[in-house]
Amino acid sequence: MNIDRVELSVIRMPLVAPFETSFGVEEVEEHIIVRVDGSSVTGWGECVASSGPWYSYETNQTAWHVLRDYLVPLLFSAELKTPRDFASRVQRVRGHPMAKAGLEAALWDWSAKEQGKSLAELFGARRERIVVGVSVGIQPTTEALVERVGQYLSEGYTRVKIKIKPGRDLELVRALRENFPQLPLQVDANSAYALSDAPIFRAMDEYNLLLIEQPLSNDDIFQHAKLQRELTTSLCLDESIHSAADAEAALELGACRIINIKAGRVGGFAEAIRIHDVCAERGAPVWCGGMLESGIGRAGNVALAALPNFKLPGDLSASRRYYREDLVEPEFVVDADGTMRVPRGAGIGVEVIESRLQNVTVQREEFRK
């Protein structure tokens, strides 16, 4: 892989509507776009760290520092054979998976384009379409949530995930079940609860949820194993899973039955694929979570979700779900049957519109070998 130039750009993209979770409210999404160049080929990636250390300890400032001062120099230190070699090249940098994943994603895109293959093909994925769902933030009222969910169902989404937090949980589930009895529904707590809150989740057993996502601490497996034993509903771990080893431990201990895979959280696509394979071997389905990515990051997620053990709809909504204008063409859309097409063009399979990228860029720096 003859990479001789890297460019980092911090972008700020206003969301079409505020997105509230147990962490707080987001109105503008701030990510780092990574571009790599070499041999007349360009690869694109997206680092999903945000402006604050809410979902993760990583922020755009920490990711910029680690990319600029460590990861890019390590990339330039010797030529890689494949994107899978990147993790071992940067192994001495502890942690910072989102920074690593952003650069690794660009390398995957570059490699796929250089070989004339789609990213999905390079991953070994063969699906032409994937089933997708929508993630709904905490709404001002229960009535507003019911209305918003009804709107998304009319747009073709077949699975809905709602965010919950203490004081805004069981009432929301009950209202949605009363209005949409057959809706495939799941909830995401983003680590907002303690084991002492188990009665809330036991009560949710009555409402036929697909899963309960990350109810307890973001770095916990043990307490989740205790909670899962008390529930009929499957727990799904997100923030607690940073590697294939974590996934194996969580499944072995019975801490969950399902895992949400986010390439950004685990350091890149190579580790995400390893987690997929571990879960497949153990008969545990996975799905692909989202981090409010632009179309650059979304394209990689869609390719990943085309692998066979992604058996549950992911948070891979249409571009217009979050942004009035995406950074890529064609933008991602959800068809009436609740599916999304997997791009089959070379690399990520969509074109980055550089004028749009420039319009939302607030910081930029380039590096040469």
Catalytic residues: 163, 262
- Cβ-based neighbour number of residue 194 at 10 Å: 13
Q: Is 352 exposed, middle or buried (0-12, 13-18, 19+ CB in 10 A)?
A: buried
Q: Tokens 């949820």 label which residue?
A: 209
Residue 22 contacts residue 164 (beta carbons within 8 Å): yes
What distance in Å separates the CA atoms of residue 231 and residue 251, rounded to the nearest whole number?
Answer: 16
Can the peptide bond before residue 97 be classed as cis, meaning omega within 30 degrees of 0? no
3-state helix, strand, coil in the chain (%, to 5): 40, 25, 40
Residue 309 contacts residue 280 (beta carbons within 8 Å): yes
Q: Is 198 exposed, middle or buried (0-12, 13-18, 19+ CB in 10 A)?
A: middle
* Residue 58 Cα distances to 49, 129, 366, angstroms: 6, 32, 21
CA atoms lying within 13 Å on the CB side of residue 32 = 33
DSSP secondary structure letters along 111-172:
HHHHHT-BHHHHHT---SEEEB-EEEPPPSSHHHHHHHHHHHHHTT---EEEE-BTTBSHHH
Axis crossing angle, helix 269-281 with helix 295-304, rounded to the nearest 10 = 30
* Alpha carbon 49 to its chain's center: 11
Q: Is the dihedral of CA 117, 123, 129, 133 positive or negative?
A: negative
CA atoms lying within 13 Å on the CB side of residue 96 = 23
